[in-house]
Amino acid sequence: MSEERDILKSLLLKEELKLLDQIKQKVLSEEQFTQEVSKVLGGAIKRAQKEDKSFERALSTPIQKGVTRAFSDNKQSIIDGLLPIMGQLIRKTVANSIKQFVADINRTLELGFSSKALKWRWQAFKTDQSFAEIVFQKTIRYQVNEIFLINQENGLLIEHVGTDDMLKDNNAISAMLSVIREFIGDSLQSPDDNLQSAEMGDNLLFFSHGPKAFLVFVVKGSPTERFKIKAQQLIENVHAEFSDVLINEENYRNNTDLQKFLRDQLVTKSISDKPKKINWVPWVVGILTIVLALSYWSYKRNKEYDEMVDIANSIGGLYVQSMVRTRGKFKIKGLVDPLADTSSLQREDVILDTRPYISLDDTITKKRVEMITADFNEVNFNVVNQELTVRGSILPKEQKKFIQKLNSIVGIKRIKNKVVVDNSTEITAFFESFFAIDKPPEFTVSHNHISLSGTLTYSQYQNFIQEIKHLFPEINVNGKTLTISDSNQLLINSINSTVINIPLLQKKAPKQIRLLTDIIKINQQLEQRGVSFKLSIIGQSDCYGTLSDSYSMKRAETIMSTLIQSSIDPAVVSKEILTCNTFDQTQNDAKRVVSFLIKQTEKNNESR
């Protein structure tokens, strides 16, 4: 029954059973199943990621664990794989820092004005490079003389380029470098850190390490940080571009491309060992120029400041408390009198910050006086050390008001009042009343001064002087152009010109008597006026006969006695003769006459 059923089943479901069997084989065979699943795995993951939100969350944990496991199991291979990426990232970071550093240097160098800097700047302009790049190129202070590329594992020399032919046994050197590197790593027990550099004499051995090989640069001088970064970049490039050489020892020292690549990295720029001569001339000139410029600038600035101080100090009524110079402007702070003239400070470069006050400065005090006493036109003022000197004239009625005003002014300690009171009106009135005569003298009055012209008698003049001095003691009379009709000199002249003819000694004619009377009167006037004089009576005679001189004397005595009898002081009278031989006999002079001569003595100063 069972067999029949199986036969029947095979007849009915032969194809299906065959297909079912194939599917069973696929499922049960792990390898085949894996192969089938791998065909749809990619699409299935994509679809699941697209349609099933929980798919990513489900995968995150196993992936995370898997990556962690991979790192811990195969650390070195992952490091080797990441090295080119990490190296680039680190370099990029460092390059950014250097770029900023270079920018700083660039800014500093921009300020340089040496001839070399200008030359480099021109070169940078021509080559379209940055100025800092040119400076870096020109200021390299090292040489890379040798480069060893050494197998990291066994120390064999992969490639060597260099300029020093003395290094024959490069294989031994390569091995020794490897040993040194290993030895230091072992000694310091830090296998993860590598030797970076070693110094030997003038040479610096600089190491850059890679996973399969390391480079050793034999450097003379002081390499820059830039060089160190470049060295690390170089070993990475060697691993990237010459990996087949590194792993196949048969290619060691037999690859021209690698050799050329390394040779290009040599820096053979010659460094002069000669001490650099410093040309001090441009420095000295530059420094002197700067010093001179600064000195001139400072001098000019100080001069401007001093000038401004002088201007400010010269302004009366301005008290400067402080003066500062900021942003090219002078800021003056202080006190200022309203009467002060600050026009000289009305400038764009001056800022005045002042408060009002009353200044005791002499110029301001003078202005204040002039302002208060503006009504008195005939008065002048001067203030020195707070002492006010007043000159000019004022009317008597205004004198009190004027003094009151002066006393009210501040800033005056003492007043020298030289103002005269103007009495012109009063003097004029007095003059006109005093000389109420037909022909009064002319006069001019100015303040206390009066000038006279015309003719007056001696007594009129004396009376006028006496009266006006009594009324106006301060009056000054000028009479230089005034004529005194009976002055002393006129009186004396009239006596001296008088000649009395006396032919007979005993008898006097009426004319003789009248002349003598006039002489006596004049003598009395002179005495009354206080004139001190001596009167000589001179007798003379003709030369006929032998008694001429005695007659001459008798004539003089006769006249003298007559005068004394007429109350003439005998002390002032004297007689004398003029002998006949002293004059010309043919002339009329030789007459029997008496003449007179008055000589004034020193006692009398009054000429009029």
Residues that bind another protein (CB under 8 A): 151, 153-157, 169, 171-172, 174-176, 179, 182-183, 186, 249-250, 252-254
Nearer to another protein, 179 or 384 (CB): 179
Torsion, Cα of 590, 591, 592, 597 (10° steps): -80
Nearer to another protein, 158 or 500 (CB): 158
Nearer to another protein, 132 or 177 (CB): 177
Q: What's the rounded Cα separation, in Å, for the pair 319 and 84?
A: 79
Report, in Å, the least distance between residue 262 CB and another protein. Answer: 17
Nearer to another protein, 151 or 460 (CB): 151
Q: Report residue 87: phi and psi, to 5°.
A: -60, -45
Report, in Å, the least distance between residue 252 CB and another protein. Answer: 6
Report, in Å, the least distance between residue 260 CB and another protein. Answer: 18
Output the six-digit token pair for 396.
């008597």
Which amino acid is residue 101, in one-letter code? F
Q: What's the rounded Cα separation, in Å, for the pair 571 and 540?
A: 22
Nearer to another protein, 156 or 415 (CB): 156
594 forms beta bridges with 500, 539
Report, in Å, the least distance between residue 179 CB and another protein. Answer: 5
Report, in Å, the least distance between residue 93 CB and another protein. Answer: 33
Map residue 299 onto helix, strand or coil: helix
Q: Work out the widest C-alpha separation in the chain, in whole angstroms.
A: 246
DSSP strand pairing (476-484 vs 449-456):
parallel
Nearer to another protein, 153 or 165 (CB): 153
Map residue 488 onto helix, strand or coil: helix
Report, in Å, the least distance between residue 244 CB and another protein. Answer: 17
Which pairs from 268-271 meet CB under 8 Å and 24+ separation?
268/143, 268/144, 268/145, 268/163, 269/140, 269/143, 270/143, 271/141, 271/142, 271/143, 271/220, 271/221
Q: Report residue 315: phi and psi, to 5°.
A: -85, 115
Q: What's the rounded Cα separation, in Å, for the pair 308 and 347?
A: 11
Report, in Å, the least distance between residue 218 CB and another protein. Answer: 17
Output the six-digit token pair for 349.
């470069």
**String of DSSP letters for 132-197:** HHHHHHHT--EEEEEEEEEETTT--EEEEEES-TT---HHHHHHHHHHHHHHHHHHTT-TTS---E
Nearer to another protein, 171 or 451 (CB): 171
Output the six-digit token pair for 498.
């008088």
Report, in Å, the least distance between residue 258 CB and another protein. Answer: 15
Nearer to another protein, 153 or 202 (CB): 153
Q: Residues with Cβ < 8 Å from 264, sequence gap 6 or more?
A: none
Output the six-digit token pair for 200.
């030997």
Nearer to another protein, 168 or 274 (CB): 168
SS3 content of the chain, % helix, strand, coil (to 5): 50, 20, 25
Map residue 128 onto helix, strand or coil: coil
Q: Report residue 555: phi and psi, to 5°.
A: -60, -45
Output the six-digit token pair for 543.
């030369």
Report, in Å, the least distance between residue 243 CB and another protein. Answer: 17
Q: Are 376 and 422 in contact (CB under 8 A)?
A: no
* Closest by CA position to 172, among listed 185, 160, 188, 186: 160
Nearer to another protein, 179 or 240 (CB): 179
The H or E element spanning position 226 is helix 225-241
Q: Are 476 and 450 in contact (CB under 8 A)?
A: yes
Report, in Å, the least distance between residue 73 CB and another protein. Answer: 21
Report, in Å, the least distance between residue 190 CB and another protein. Answer: 13
Report, in Å, the least distance between residue 166 CB and another protein. Answer: 16
What is the Cβ-side half-sphere exposure of residue 14, based on CA atoms within 13 angstroms?
5
217 forms beta bridges with 147, 206
Report, in Å, the least distance between residue 199 CB and another protein. Answer: 19
Q: What's the rounded Cα separation, in Å, for the pair 209 and 149?
A: 10
Calculate the alpha carbon distances from 123 to 104, 118, 135, 600 in Å: 20, 9, 10, 118
Report, in Å, the least distance between residue 197 CB and another protein. Answer: 20
Nearer to another protein, 156 or 477 (CB): 156
Output the six-digit token pair for 14.
């032969």
Nearer to another protein, 156 or 358 (CB): 156
Nearer to another protein, 244 or 310 (CB): 244
Report, in Å, the least distance between residue 126 CB and another protein. Answer: 47
Nearer to another protein, 171 or 574 (CB): 171
Q: How far is CA 245 from the centre of its chain?
A: 76
Nearer to another protein, 151 or 523 (CB): 151
Nearer to another protein, 218 or 538 (CB): 218
Report, in Å, the least distance between residue 213 CB and another protein. Answer: 11
